[in-house]
């Protein structure tokens, strides 16, 4: 339970599952919240971050020291609500200054019941998470913190027990909690050239818009959609979206992906969709120590050698061979993109069927536009072309 209280500097406490604590002041709603603590390195784009369904059940730490200066508008949200479980900032803006702002970030967090904390040394907190790894955390303020104090000093041990009792992200099946329950259509911009069936595993609003800009009528289907639902749309291509949770739990999505592969339909996956494709092909997935989150992550397209600055939001990755093509039940597959920070797989390309995926977010919301060409690759696949040219590994050997 949370209550809205904006005025004053209400004490707040952040408790990590390894026992480390950070004191600060309430930001947004007052109350208690628990989730997985992760950090985002983006200097801008906090509104898109907050409304990204992939952040469901996560306490997001912003490494940028000053947050909230552009306020909140009604054009930039990636979904109908804020999804983060909690929000941690160092220096919140005293007042927004942007011509599109209609309210403050503090008010938006409070109105949607999102418990946050400000005045925290987010640099120290981020270094701690990099060294120890992403972990469960709780934010406590207002009545939740007063109850823990009981008229005396705060009983941090009791709060720590609440944090450690929360479910971990490993093994969490969450995409069904954020996906649409009803199908809907995003019409093509201009002449309709293609029909796309988009499986919503936690889709961001900008993604179907990017497809629509290229002449695609996008039918967004629930995570529970079946092959019959896809075939009813008569799609030229199938898209699997981003989303939260552990891909090892997404059995339905994996089987659905295999059905698409069996039918040789052109396919494109982003983020969680990349992990689902990896599992459908027979690769494993694993949890990263602290994940990739932000809009400044360097990724190399191995077909061209070009390095893109990309937007990321993932805590799991595909375990696939980096330096050679793999034989799978659906033909040969290779790693098409790789993260230059840590060699994590950032993309898969099918060599014998029309399909590919990337681990990052090419829709640039928020984020750079370097990877927008991937939507063009997908439209080329739906036209029957081979937009990626030679195998990326062949290209490196040439």
Residues paired with residue 28 on neighbouring β-strands, in sequence order: 115
Active site residue 271: yes
Torsion region of 8: left, alpha or beta (phi above 0 gives left; psi -120 to 50 gives alpha): left
Active site residue 337: no
Is residue 313 part of an annotated ligand binding site?
Answer: yes
Active site residue 363: yes
Is residue 54 part of an annotated ligand binding site?
Answer: yes
Residues 18, 135 contacting (CB under 8 angstroms): yes
Is residue 8 part of an annotated ligand binding site?
Answer: no
Q: How far apart are CA 57 and CA 223, in angstroms?
A: 18
Is residue 98 part of an annotated ligand binding site?
Answer: no
Is residue 239 part of an annotated ligand binding site?
Answer: no
Is residue 375 part of an annotated ligand binding site?
Answer: no
Given the residues 271, 292, 314, 337, the one annotated as active site: 271
Is residue 316 part of an annotated ligand binding site?
Answer: yes
For strands 345-350 and 58-62, give the pairing: unpaired
Is residue 297 part of an annotated ligand binding site?
Answer: no
Residues 62, 68 contacting (CB under 8 angstroms): no
- Summarize the annotated binding site as residue ranges: 54, 243, 245, 272, 275, 313, 315-316
Catalytic positions are 271, 361, 363
- Summarize the annotated binding site for L-glutamine as residue ranges: 54, 243, 245, 272, 275, 313, 315-316
């Amino acid at each position: 339970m949370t209550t809205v209280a904006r005025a004053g500097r209400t004490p707040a406490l952040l408790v990590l599952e390894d026992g480390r604590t950070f004191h600060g002041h309430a930001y947004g709603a007052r109350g208690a919240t628990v989730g997985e603590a992760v950090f985002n390195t983006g200097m801008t784009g906090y509104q898109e971050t907050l409304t990204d369904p992939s952040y469901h059940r996560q306490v997001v730490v912003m490494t940028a020291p000053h947050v909230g200066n552009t306020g909140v508008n009604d054009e930039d949200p990636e979904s109908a609500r804020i999804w983060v479980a909690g929000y941690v900032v160092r220096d919140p803006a005293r007042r927004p200054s942007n011509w599109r702002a209609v309210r403050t970030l503090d008010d938006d967090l409070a109105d949607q019941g999102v418990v946050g904390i400000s005045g925290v040394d987010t640099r120290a907190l981020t270094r701690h998470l990099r060294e120890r790894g992403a972990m469960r955390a709780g934010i406590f303020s207002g009545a939740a913190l007063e109850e823990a104090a009981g008229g005396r000093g705060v009983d941090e041990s009791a709060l720590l027990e609440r944090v450690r009792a929360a479910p971990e992200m490993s093994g969490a099946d969450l995409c069904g909690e954020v996906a649409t329950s009803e199908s809907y259509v995003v019409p093509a911009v201009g002449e309709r050239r293609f029909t796309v069936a988009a499986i919503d595993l936690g889709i961001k609003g900008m993604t179907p818009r990017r497809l629509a800009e290229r002449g695609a009528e996008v039918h967004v289907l629930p995570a529970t959609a079946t092959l019959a639902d896809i075939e009813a749309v008569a799609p030229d291509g199938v898209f699997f979206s981003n989303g939260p949770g552990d891909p090892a739990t997404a059995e339905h999505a994996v089987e659905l992906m295999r059905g698409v592969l069996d039918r040789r339909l052109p396919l494109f996956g982003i983020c969680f969709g990349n992990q689902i494709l990896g599992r459908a092909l027979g690769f494993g997935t694993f949890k990263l120590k602290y994940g990739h989150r932000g809009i400044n992550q360097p990724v190399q397209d191995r077909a061209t050698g070009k390095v893109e600055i990309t937007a990321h939001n993932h805590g799991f990755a595909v375990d696939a061979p980096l330096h050679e093509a793999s034989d799978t039940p659906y033909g040969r597959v290779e790693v098409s993109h790789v993260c230059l920070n840590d060699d994590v797989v950032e993309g898969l390309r099918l060599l014998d069927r029309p399909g590919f995926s990337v681990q990052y977010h090419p829709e640039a919301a928020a984020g750079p536009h370097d990877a927008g060409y991937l939507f063009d690759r997908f439209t080329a696949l739906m036209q029957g072309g081979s937009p990626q040219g030679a195998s990326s590994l062949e290209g490196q050997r040439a």
